């Protein structure tokens, strides 16, 4: 399997399929590159080169005890783009991955990037502070950490079968296969990475990162997102970006790249070609 080794000795797994303009995918917590299977196959068939990595501590990458923060996430992504010598790349991030993309572009520059997309993403800031009164209380994220530490397997099943895909909404039809695949990906990763990752995605303030980005960015978000609430994320991010475009999806859940893939893929393709 293909890996790169980071400066601090972590093995990062990645997929690299096809040729043409590269599209690089950054996944959400606590998943892996496999969460992008539908998008990678779609864009591969459209003639693009598709690349996705397992974040450190996630999926098939090293289950290191350290470095589970946005600086390391961005540096690992930069190491991969440099290793593959990617140019004119489209960066697409979901949830935590959207924060990773924003921090990568701000921290490492845009020389290798053409456009970016943030789907159901955590920026500008998830946790409630005096400066971010619309955020979620820190106790919400403390509770997530307690569940990861207590019974991670059960927590992941409940999380996927409930709010992540909106399966807890009246009339929703649960796909057990989708729930099982979410659980599978989560349990492949390391508990320490997932525990620390909750702090990384909830407490990192991406405001300055968003202000630095000059390439076009599409911000896609469902207004029924129960994980990253819409009002305190997507509209605020789009306003902070110099070339941000907000696209809101009525009734779509947090995991919309999976449950609403036909819609999301077509809209992504239109933005990339625009």
pLDDT tens, residue by residue, 45-68: 999 999 999 999 999 999 999 999
- H or E segment to which residue 258 belongs: helix 256-259
**What helix, strand, coil percent values describe the chain, rounded to 5?**
45, 15, 35
* Mean pLDDT across 123-131: 97
Architecture of domain 3-273: 3-Layer(aba) Sandwich (3.40)
pLDDT score of 6: 97
Tell me what percent of the residues of the chain surpass a pLDDT of 70: 100
225 catalytically annotated: yes
Q: Each residue of 228-253: pLDDT tens digit? A: 999 999 999 999 999 999 999 999 99
pLDDT of residue 1: 76
Task: Determine which helix (DSSP H) or strand (DSSP E) holds 119, and give its type and residue range.
Answer: strand 113-119
Annotated catalytic residue 61: no
pLDDT (0 to 100) of residue 95:
98
> Among residues 72, 94, 221, 254, which one is catalytic?
254
Give 1-36 pLDDT, tens digit per residue: 799 999 999 999 999 999 999 999 999 999 999 999
pLDDT, position 25: 99
pLDDT at 74: 98
For 181-195, what is each residue's pLDDT tens digit?
A: 999 999 999 999 999
Q: Which residues contact 189 (CB under 8 A, 6 or more apart)?
A: 30, 31, 32, 54, 57, 58, 59, 63
Three-state DSSP at 135 gives coil
Mean pLDDT value across residues 111-116: 98
Q: In what order do the strands lie in the sheet with 11-17?
A: 3-5, 11-17, 49-53, 22-26, 89-94, 113-119, 217-222, 244-249
Active site annotation includes 95 = yes
Task: Please pick, among 34, 209, 225, 232, the residue that the annotation labels catalytic.
Answer: 225
User: Which tokens sit at 239?
Assistant: 């306003």
Residue of 26, 62, 95, 120 with catalytic role: 95
In the structure encoding, which two tokens stand for residue 196, read together?
């620390």
What is the spatial distance between Cα 85 and Cα 130, in angstroms, rounded to a whole number? 42
Asked if residue 223 has pLDDT above 90, the reply is: yes
């Amino acid at each position: 399997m293909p890996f790169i080794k980071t400066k601090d000795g972590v093995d990062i797994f990645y997929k690299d399929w096809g040729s043409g303009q590269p599209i690089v995918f950054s996944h959400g917590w606590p998943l892996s590159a496999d969460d992008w299977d539908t998008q990678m196959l779609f864009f591969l068939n459209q003639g693009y080169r598709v690349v996705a990595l397992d974040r450190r501590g996630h999926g098939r990458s090293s289950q290191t005890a350290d470095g589970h923060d946005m600086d390391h996430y961005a540096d690992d992504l930069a190491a991969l783009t440099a290793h593959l010598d990617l140019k004119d790349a489209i960066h697409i991030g979901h949830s935590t991955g959207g924060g990773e993309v924003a921090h990568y572009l701000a921290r490492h520059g845009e020389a290798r990037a053409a456009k970016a997309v943030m789907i159901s993403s955590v920026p500008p800031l998830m946790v409630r502070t005096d400066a971010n009164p619309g955020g979620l209380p820190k106790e919400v994220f403390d509770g997530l950490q307690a569940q990861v530490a207590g019974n991670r397997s059960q927590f992941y099943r409940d999380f996927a079968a409930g709010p992540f895909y909106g399966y807890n909404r009246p009339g929703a039809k649960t796909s057990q296969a989708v729930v099982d695949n979410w659980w599978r990906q989560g349990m492949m990763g390391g508990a320490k990475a997932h525990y620390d990752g909750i702090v990384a995605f909830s407490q990192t303030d991406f405001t300055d990162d968003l202000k630095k980005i000059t390439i076009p960015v599409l911000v896609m978000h469902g207004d029924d997102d129960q994980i990253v609430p819409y009002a305190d994320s997507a509209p605020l991010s789009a306003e902070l970006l110099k070339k941000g475009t907000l696209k809101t999806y009525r009734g779509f859940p947090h995991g919309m790249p999976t449950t609403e893939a036909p819609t999301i893929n077509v809209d992504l393709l239109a933005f990339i070609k625009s």
